[in-house]
Structure 1
């Protein structure tokens, strides 16, 4: 599991006083990019595109709340991999939201997917887990 921590900023809340739903996608992206960098998956130039992203909202989050985003790899294909992410309250460990995404290694010159090399596959396997029963 890869873990990324953040604190909810005031600008991420809406008139209802909670984090606006669009910002959960930003949190997932922030953790996903940190995951790529920490695993050294990013070459000199960006080499991934996001094919799919989903978020289930379970509880509200508020300004000043400390959150942790846990990222797991659930599937590794030839040129793509699936990520499973949990956004949790750092103090209570309660799930706030769950996300799932499909990431493709991409050649921007040919505009096509490209196979992952063995070192990338090995790095991803260190964070691989079996998909939970019932989906996310």
Structure 2
């Protein structure tokens, strides 16, 4: 599991004094960067070497998230397929699970515009972060 602390910004706060729902997708993507690095081991901004795409993302908002209090995002690998992998994430504030999300990434060849199998070396790294049933 990966853990990252997010400090909500004032600009992410809406008129109801809670974090706007659009911020969650940005936070969760940011917290998937350690997994992206398995696929793109050089600089994460080396887009010439980039080889994953986001195929699906979904979020459940379980309670409001507020400005002025840190948020802990927990990130696990939920499933590993032949060419795709599912990441599970949760946002926690003040000991409460506030949001849950899933994102499906696909190992992708941009030149051929096709998915490709996840290399064994990457698969081994992903497996080390599979969510345990009790977590």
Q: Given that residues 35 and 126 in structure 2 are in contact (C-alpha distance below 8 angstroms), is that contact kept between their aligned partners in structure 1?
A: no
Q: Which residue of 2 aligns with 1:118?
A: 120
Alignment-derived partner of residue 48 in structure 1: 52
1:15 alignment partner in structure 2:
15
TM-score by length of 1: 0.87
State the number of aligned residues. Answer: 128
For 1:93 and 1:102, how far apart are their aligned partners in 2?
A: 27
Q: Distance in 1 between matches of 2:13 and 2:59?
A: 17
What is the Cα-based RMSD across aligned positions, in Å? 1.6
Mapped to 2, the partners of 1:93 and 1:36 lie a distance apart of 28
Can you list the C-alpha shifts for 1:13-65, whole angstroms capped at 9, x where unaligned?
A: 1111111111111111111124423xx33145211100000000011112122
Whether the 8 Å contact between 1:74 and 1:131 is mirrored in structure 2 is no
In the TM superposition, structure 1's runs of 4+ consecutive aligned residues that sit over 6 Å from their partners are none
Unaligned runs of 5+ in 1: none
Structure 2, unpaired ranges of 5+: 43-48
Match of 1:60 among 61, 64, 68: 64
**In the aligned structure 2, how far is the partner of 1:114 from the partner of 1:5?**
33
